[in-house]
Structure 1
Amino acid sequence: MVFMNYSTSTWILILGPLAVFLVITVWVIELLAKAPPWYPAIPIVIGFAVVFLALGVLIRAKLGKIVF
């Protein structure tokens, strides 16, 4: 598989920011769940998180070869 040629540090640089993004998203969802008026916004936050995560993966897959 092509992805196995990367070193450990490259994997950390690629997946680290995406993992942090997911942690921040879960944190925001927990905060919104505690505030009843903001409860309907949770599906919107999840939608944005999925879109931006997919965008981040695609950008890193395409531009990662140029950078690393």
Structure 2
Amino acid sequence: MTHFLFDGFDTAPVSILLAHGAGAAMDSPSMTATAKALATAGFQVARFEFHYMAARRYGHRKPPPRAET
């Protein structure tokens, strides 16, 4: 199941989907700051994290899948 974090108003005319990089989760300080800044500029922002990163929250440390995947 994919979980999202939302910032901004759901009535914003434009929504932006942010995905994290290989080294930080969706609620990292840099992702949070970016989402808050975009929301302040009038966008709705949805953040999510890939399954390999979400698994790290539960102690499963695997590298990201290969690009072909």
TM bucket (normalised to shorter chain) is: 0.3 to 0.5
Please identify which structure carries the higher helix content: 1
Greater RCO (CA < 8 Å, at least 6 residues apart): 2
- Tell me the TM-score normalized by structure 2: 0.34
Please identify which structure carries the higher strand content: 2
- Tell me the TM-score normalized by structure 1: 0.35
